[in-house]
């Protein structure tokens, strides 16, 4: 029997949901049925009684409902999730090809599963849940996922939960990590990304273990690296550095503040027989750039962490991006290359480009754009969901003015 709560959206909030916005916010709630309980499925209706969509009710969150379906009468049961997972897996097979064992399988709203992220690292799936209702139903959801993977002939040995993201507190959810159900599996595994083998630690690594979203951008860097002296700033576990070395760079210097990350990067270099071509430097990138001279490197990569995670800190982040980009441009001789990016959705593309223009003007250089890309295709962008569009990646040849 279908016993769902009913939540009424205000006339003010209705147009946004009509236009495709997939989140109903608390300030647009006009009424709530008496049977409503936190985490239960809920139908959104207008004040005129028209059906809008269905999702889980989050009574502690400003995001009151994440719309999972707009099919009236739909039931959020195992078959619903299996259908969504089949769609997501089919898409990844289309866009990832041989990289299907190393990809994001489910990307929240972009796969019409707002509040759920699933990454695959070889034999392990890593889950992040940020919806109270999904947390309540996670056993059913995981079982549906494993059944779909088995149907498709994809071998999965376990699901590791990285439910330690601070956003869960907004839903009133606890922070924790560990294997779903008891497991003797190791939280470490090895993936292969475009011919490069990488140690992955899903327990302690960034995000769910690794930055999968830069996969295609790392190939762009690889294609330019042959014979060049390369500087990889904010190298983390060495994704860009390894690709540059693999692409035939004369030498690569990988810089990061985290000794743990650099140790992992060094292990990855050894795993691929590239240790003689990469130097690892533990340093603050801002300070390290100040020690360099113009022409020390032919290709500089700037892949910093998100300098802002809210609109409140936008201006401070803007200056941080500007400082490192201006300095990197000043270090480039005529014709050297700069790869630069931002992974913050609150640093809009227009603002990031304006920052780059200001940096180039102050550095006295011209920027010749080779490419402008975003995240890898296994992190698809849904145009009515701002959260799904966040990564900006630019590749430039840096030209000295007056030459």
State whether residue 269 is helix, strand or coil. helix
> Which token pair is 206?
């960034």
Mark whether 178 and 228 lie in a shared domain.
Answer: no
> Which token pair is 86?
């089949």
Mark whether 278 and 393 lie in a shared domain.
Answer: yes
359, containing H or E segment: helix 349-363
- Distance from CA of residue 33 to its chain's centroid? 36
Query: Within 103-234, where are the H helices?
Result: 132-136, 138-151, 215-224
Mean residue pLDDT across the chain: 95
Is residue 200 one of the residues assigned to a domain? Answer: no
- State how far the alpha carbon of 104 is from the alpha carbons of 89, 117, 242, in Å: 10, 8, 21
pLDDT digit string (tens) for 270-316? 999 999 999 999 999 999 999 999 999 999 999 998 766 666 667 87
> Which token pair is 391?
């990564």
Is residue 204 one of the residues assigned to a domain? Answer: no
Q: What is the pLDDT of residue 310?
A: 61
DSSP annotation string for 222-250: HHH-TT-EEEEET-TTTHHHHHHHHTT-S
Phi-psi region of 112 (alpha: psi -120 to 50; beta: other; left: phi over 0): left
Mark whether 131 and 244 lie in a shared domain.
Answer: no
Say how far apart CA 85 and CA 80 lie, in whole Å. 9
Q: Which domain holds residue 176?
A: 78-191
Mark whether 113 and 43 lie in a shared domain.
Answer: no
Say which residue the tokens 């699933």 belong to.
118
Phi, psi of 204 (to 5 degrees): -120, -10
Low-confidence ranges of the chain (pLDDT < 50): none
The domain that holds 50 is classified in CATH as 2.30.130.10
Mark whether 58 and 84 lie in a shared domain.
Answer: no
Q: Which residues pair with 125 in a beta bridge?
A: 120, 159
- Of 191, 220, 249, the position where a domain reaches its end is 191
Positions marked active-site: 343
Contact 51, 72 (CB under 8 A): yes
Mark whether 237 and 153 lie in a shared domain.
Answer: no
Contact 6, 33 (CB under 8 A): yes
> Which token pair is 305?
């962490």
Say how far apart CA 261 and CA 294 lie, in whole Å. 27
Phi, psi of 324 (to 5 degrees): -75, -35
> In this structure, how many other beta carbons lie within 10 angstroms of the beta carbon of residue 9?
26
% of the chain residues with pLDDT over 70: 98
Is residue 196 one of the residues assigned to a domain? Answer: no
Mark whether 231 and 345 lie in a shared domain.
Answer: yes
Cβ neighbors of 333 (< 8 A, separation 6 or more) are 294, 295, 298, 400
Query: Within 14-65, where are the H helices?
Result: 14-18
β-pairing verdict for 196-201 and 158-163: unpaired
- Of 18, 44, 69, the position where a domain reaches its end is 69
Say how far apart CA 304 and CA 284 lie, in whole Å. 11
Say how far apart CA 57 and CA 44 lie, in whole Å. 10
> In this structure, how many other beta carbons lie within 10 angstroms of the beta carbon of residue 53?
22
Count of structural domains, the chain: 3
Nearest to 53 by CA among 32, 84, 22: 22
Phi, psi of 113 (to 5 degrees): -135, 55
Mark whether 234 and 345 lie in a shared domain.
Answer: yes
User: What is the pTM for the complete model shown?
Assistant: 0.93
- Of 156, 191, 226, the position where a domain reaches its end is 191
The domain that holds 382 is classified in CATH as 3.40.50.150
Contact 337, 399 (CB under 8 A): no
The domain that holds 162 is classified in CATH as 3.30.750.80
Mark whether 107 and 26 lie in a shared domain.
Answer: no
Q: What is the pLDDT of residue 311?
A: 65
Say which residue the tokens 């399988």 belong to.
105
Q: What is the pLDDT of residue 228?
A: 98
DSSP state of 377: T
> Which token pair is 336?
């050297």
β-pairing verdict for 251-256 and 278-282: parallel
- State how far the alpha carbon of 268 is from the alpha carbons of 187, 227, 238, in Å: 17, 21, 7
Contact 238, 214 (CB under 8 A): no
**Please, what sign has the CA dihedral across residues 271, 275, 276, 278?**
positive
Mark whether 221 and 337 lie in a shared domain.
Answer: yes
Mark whether 217 and 306 lie in a shared domain.
Answer: yes
Is residue 87 one of the residues assigned to a domain? Answer: yes
Is residue 202 one of the residues assigned to a domain? Answer: no
Is residue 117 one of the residues assigned to a domain? Answer: yes
Phi, psi of 269 (to 5 degrees): -65, -45
Is residue 201 one of the residues assigned to a domain? Answer: no
Say how far apart CA 132 and CA 61 lie, in whole Å. 9
Mark whether 312 and 243 lie in a shared domain.
Answer: yes
Is residue 198 one of the residues assigned to a domain? Answer: no
């Amino acid at each position: 029997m279908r016993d769902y709560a009913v939540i009424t959206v205000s006339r003010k909030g209705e147009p946004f949901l009509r236009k495709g916005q997939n989140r109903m916010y608390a300030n647009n709630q006009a009424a709530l049925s008496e049977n409503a309980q936190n985490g239960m499925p809920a139908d959104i209706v207008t004040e005129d009684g028209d059906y809008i969509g269905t999702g889980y009710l989050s009574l502690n969150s400003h995001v009151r409902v994440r719309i999972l379906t707009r099919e009236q009468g739909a039931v959020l049961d195992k078959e619903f999730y299996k259908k969504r997972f089949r769609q997501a897996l089919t898409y990844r097979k289309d866009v990832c090809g041989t990289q299907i064992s190393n990809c994001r399988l489910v990307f929240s709203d972009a796969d019409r599963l707002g509040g759920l992220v699933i990454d695959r690292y070889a034999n392990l799936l890593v889950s992040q849940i940020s919806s109270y209702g999904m947390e309540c139903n996670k056993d059913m959801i995981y079982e549906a996922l494993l059944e779909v993977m088995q149907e498709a002939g994809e071998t999965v040995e376990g699901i590791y939960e990285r439910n330690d993201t601070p956003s869960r507190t907004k839903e009133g959810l606890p922070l924790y990590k560990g294997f779903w159900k008891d497991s003797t599996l190791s939280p470490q595994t090895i993936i292969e990304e475009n011919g490069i083998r990488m140690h992955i630690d899903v327990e302690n690594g960034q995000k769910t273990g690794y930055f999968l979203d830069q996969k295609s951008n790392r190939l762009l860097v690889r294609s330019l690296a042959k014979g060049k002296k390369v500087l990889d700033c904010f190298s983390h576990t060495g994704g860009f550095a390894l690709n540059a070395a693999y692409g035939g760079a004369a030498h690569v210097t990988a810089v990061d503040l985290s000794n743990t990350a650099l140790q992992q990067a060094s292990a990855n270099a050894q795993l691929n027989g590239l240790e003689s071509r990469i130097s690892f430097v533990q340093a603050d990138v801002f300070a390290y750039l100040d020690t360099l001279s113009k022409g020390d490197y032919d290709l500089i990569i700037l892949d910093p962490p998100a300098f802002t995670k809210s609109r409140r800190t936008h201006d401070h982040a803007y200056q941080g991006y500007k400082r490192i980009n201006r300095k990197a441009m000043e270090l480039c001789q005529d014709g050297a290359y700069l790869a630069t990016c931002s992974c913050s959705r609150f640093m809009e593309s227009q603002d990031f480009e304006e920052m780059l223009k200001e940096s180039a003007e102050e550095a006295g250089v011209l920027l010749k754009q080779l490419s402008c890309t975003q995240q890898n295709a296994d992190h698809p962008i849904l145009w009515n969901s701002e959260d799904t569009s966040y990564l900006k990646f630019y590749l430039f040849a840096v030209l000295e003015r007056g030459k």
